[in-house]
Amino acid sequence: MFVGRKKELAKLNQMYQTNQFQFAVVYGRRRIGKTALIQEFTKDKDAIYFVGLEENAHDNLVRFSTAIANYEHQELMSDFSYGSFENCFKEIGRLAKKQRIVLVIDEYPYLAQSAPVVSSMLQSYIDHEFKETNLFLILCGSSMSFMENQVLAYKSPLYGRRTAQFKLQPFSLKEAQAYFPKMDKEEVFELNTITGGIPLYLSYMSAQKDLWQNISDSFLEVNAPLFQETDSLLKQELRDPKNYNSVINAIADGASRVNDIAMKAHLATPAVTTCLNNLIDLGIVAKKVPVTEENKHSRKTIYVIADGLFRFWHTYVSKYMNAIMRGATDSVLAIIKNDFTRFMGPEFEKLSQDYLWEHIADQELVPQPFIQLNNWWGTDSRTRTRIELDIVGFTANEYMGYFGECKWKNEPISKGILEKLIDLSSLFSYPQKQYFLFSKCGFTPACQELASKVGCKLITFEEM
């Protein structure tokens, strides 16, 4: 069952309707659903589908030729070759002059690595032949560095040729809900978090099991499908993942600044910086600064694990690997149960921030559109203590400030939380202030009373 990806499908279909040459680049991390999206898009269209493999140029050429010939002759041929990639593109051009055809080259990086001439040949065909045809070309790949540097970047022969690009993102909560329509929303949110919103990993979860059983069966057994997945992902992307694992472990264990990470990982700072930069490129780690210092060089920079699967795995699985190997699944599960509310906290903050971005045009909620909105941390100048705010945002003219707290707890938010938020907001000089509280389990009557006095918006997880 295919779910979600509505925006991507709408855009692809709109491009298809133009009946002009189109060139879409679809990329994103492994298992994110690139092939599924393309198959959904092409299911009712004339399409040639070719997938590059890690093999030599000759073998890729034979399979590419065979895919084209199979389409042309509507029969299953094997081991056919047009003799050169140039002849393949000529043939495609000839076919696409007659009718609308989608040509999908999946795992393009493998094809281009086996036959480097293909990229500049494609460039020349796009510029001279394909432009006059009805071809809809889709290049797809999961090597983010290859797709960003060798297909989309300025120095690539294909630079500037694409008519649209799609960097597929993990499933949103709504998409995950569509995937598990009968499951409780809270459980969907938790499963979507620990799988990083990756469709393939979600497919390992079962609506017939509760969260803990799903965790146990998918992560905490030696043969479980996600027991070693992060390791194998790192091995596919990096030559020597050893230091990378130590860096991610250090962040999962609470280190967030370069020096602290280096100390915990027992690595030199330059080595950590290299690892962090590569992990950022892979989307596994993210660099954050307080929202008021975005686009500036900030001394408050921290690093967090951005990929949900990696965060879960390095928080619980790698740390208790020995116990898992010895079959002590229940003990590890008990630790996870105890700590899980804390683990979900940052994800609920992100969900709340995303909710406000999605409702930026709703004047009831957001009186004036903000230009920035994210986490904030710093020092309370009155007490010299370190403070954190889950949400701080502001309008372009810095007239209006937005402040919010998000609590993923099994109890209603009390009045004290709102009082503290109001107090901390006085550290900021925006003339007008709007408050938000986001709660998993509602708000106490006293909190509701104060909220209505100060115009604070109260939003529960159920409404999001």
Ligand X SMILES: Nc1ncnc2c1ncn2[C@@H]1O[C@H](COP(=O)(O)OP(=O)(O)OP(=O)(O)O)[C@@H](O)[C@H]1O
Q: Are 352 and 438 in contact (CB under 8 A)?
A: yes
Stretch that binds ligand X, among 25-33, 211-219, 228-236, 353-361 (CB under 6 A): 25-33
Choice between 20 and 172, CB closer to ligand X: 172
314 to 239, 245, 260: CA distances (angstroms):
20, 8, 17
Secondary structure letter of residue 55 according to DSSP? S
x/- mask, ligand X, residues 5-24, rule CB under 6 A, reads: x-------------------
> What span, in angstroms and rounded, lies between the C-alpha atoms of 145 and 167?
12
Residue from 36, 238, 323, 441 in contact with ligand X (CB under 6 A): 36
Name the minimum Å distance from CB 273 to ligand X.
28
Choice between 310 and 402, CB closer to ligand X: 310
> What span, in angstroms and rounded, lies between the C-alpha atoms of 318 and 323?
10
Place of tokens 């998993």: 440
Stretch that binds ligand X, among 33-41, 187-195, 349-357, 392-400 (CB under 6 A): 33-41
x/- mask, ligand X, residues 104-143, rule CB under 6 A, reads: --------------------------------------x-
Residue from 57, 62, 164, 200 in contact with ligand X (CB under 6 A): 200
Choice between 12 and 421, CB closer to ligand X: 12
Residue from 170, 199, 241, 401 in contact with ligand X (CB under 6 A): 199
Name the minimum Å distance from CB 262 to ligand X.
32
Task: Indicate the residue type of 159.
Answer: Y
Beta-carbon contacts of 419 under 8 Å, excluding residues fewer than 6 positions away, are 450
Name the minimum Å distance from CB 199 to ligand X.
3
- Edge-first strand listing for the sheet containing 22-27: 47-51, 101-106, 135-141, 22-27, 164-167
x/- mask, ligand X, residues 137-176, rule CB under 6 A, reads: -----x----------------------------------
> What span, in angstroms and rounded, lies between the C-alpha atoms of 179 and 291?
33
Stretch that binds ligand X, among 3-11, 118-126, 305-313, 438-446 (CB under 6 A): 3-11
State whether residue 356 is helix, strand or coil: helix
Secondary structure letter of residue 171 according to DSSP? P
Name the minimum Å distance from CB 226 to ligand X.
14
Residue from 31, 63, 161, 311 in contact with ligand X (CB under 6 A): 31
DSSP codes joined into one string, 310-336: HHHIIIIITTTHHHHHTT-HHHHHHHH
Choice between 4 and 393, CB closer to ligand X: 4
> What span, in angstroms and rounded, lies between the C-alpha atoms of 441 and 459?
10
Site for ligand X in 273-332 (CB under 6 A): none
Name the minimum Å distance from CB 74 to ligand X.
26
From the number of C-beta atoms within 10 Å of its C-beta (0-12, 13-18, 19+), residue 461 rates as buried
Site for ligand X in 71-100 (CB under 6 A): none
Binding to ligand X by residue 4, rule CB under 6 A? yes
Choice between 110 and 130, CB closer to ligand X: 110
Q: What are phi and psi of 241, to 5 degrees?
A: -75, -5
Question: Closest residue to ligand X, Cβ-based?
Answer: 33
Choice between 199 and 308, CB closer to ligand X: 199
Choice between 200 and 417, CB closer to ligand X: 200
Q: What is the CA radius of gyration of the chain?
A: 25
> What span, in angstroms and rounded, lies between the C-alpha atoms of 305 and 313?
11
Residue 83 gets the label, from left (phi > 0), alpha (psi -120 to 50) or beta, of left
Count interface residues toward ligand X (CB under 6 A). Answer: 15
Residue from 12, 24, 25, 32 in contact with ligand X (CB under 6 A): 32
Residue from 11, 30, 174, 415 in contact with ligand X (CB under 6 A): 30
> What span, in angstroms and rounded, lies between the C-alpha atoms of 274 and 280?
10
Residue from 8, 12, 33, 136 in contact with ligand X (CB under 6 A): 33
Name the minimum Å distance from CB 230 to ligand X.
14
> What span, in angstroms and rounded, lies between the C-alpha atoms of 244 and 278?
9
Place of tokens 């990982």: 265
> What span, in angstroms and rounded, lies between the C-alpha atoms of 365 and 361?
8
Q: Which residues bind ligand X (CB under 6 A)?
A: 2-5, 30-36, 142, 199-200, 203
